[in-house]
Chain A
Amino acid sequence: EAEVAQSPRYKITEKSQAVAFWCDPISGHATLYWYRQILGQGPELLVQFQDESVVDDSQLPKDRFSAERLKGVDSTLKIQPAELGDSAMYLCASSLYGVQETQYFGPGTRLLVL
């Protein structure tokens, strides 16, 4: 069964450093999402792509976060500089466009900022 891939699974960094997370959605899925999940809370959408275009980044802290999906397939989420409050699980999900609503989630990247 096809899955959403994410790497790394765990990342420890010091504040003010740069970090990057990678996501490879299920093949053929046009919509890709990045979520942040703080411990004990539900996922919060950071950015949503339709193919290579951003359709929603209203909750993305653009002063330090950036996301790209250059060829409309895999995606990278970057934080620079990282802050202590960025410690969380970063989840990537994908879904088909206009056909199916179900989002399929990757295993996530757990970030710890020291």
Chain B
Amino acid sequence: GDSVTQMEGPVTLSEEAFLTINCTYTATGYPSLFWYVQYPGEGLQLLLKATKADDKGSNKGFEATYRKETTSFHLEKGSVQVSDSAVYFCALRYNFNKFYFGSGTKLNVKP
């Protein structure tokens, strides 16, 4: 069945370090892919999305490219800040607006 696999956390980085959070998916057809972020005590917020192969989603310095050949949608940021500390969820949309979320990756950024 359709699924999303994320790298396990927590990921701990120093401020200004480069970030990569891996996400791979299994899906029939051509799903849309998303990254959501959840700050402590809050609901999920859409960070970025890509709806077809080779699309690049970007927002707030984060970016991810929809790679059909490797079934991946890795999240990257060139220079993280303490305020980026949160849990990041990769998700896919299939079959009429039905979402499947990964288990989340916690990011801790130290000053």
User: Residues on A close to B: CB < 8 A?
Assistant: 4, 6, 31, 33, 40-45, 48, 55-56, 91, 93, 95, 97, 101-108
Contacts and interface: CB of A to CB of B under 8 A. Distances in A.
Q: Is the interface of B mostly helix, strand, loop or mixed?
A: strand
B74 interface: no
Contacts of B91: 42
A41 B43 CA distance: 13
Nearest to A35: B101
Interface residues of B, number: 23
Nearest to B104: A42
Central interface residue in B42, B49, B99, B103, by most chain A CB within 10 Å: B99
10 contacts: A6-B43, A40-B104, A45-B99, A48-B97, A101-B32, A101-B97, A102-B46, A102-B49, A103-B46, A103-B99
A96 to B, nearest CB: 9
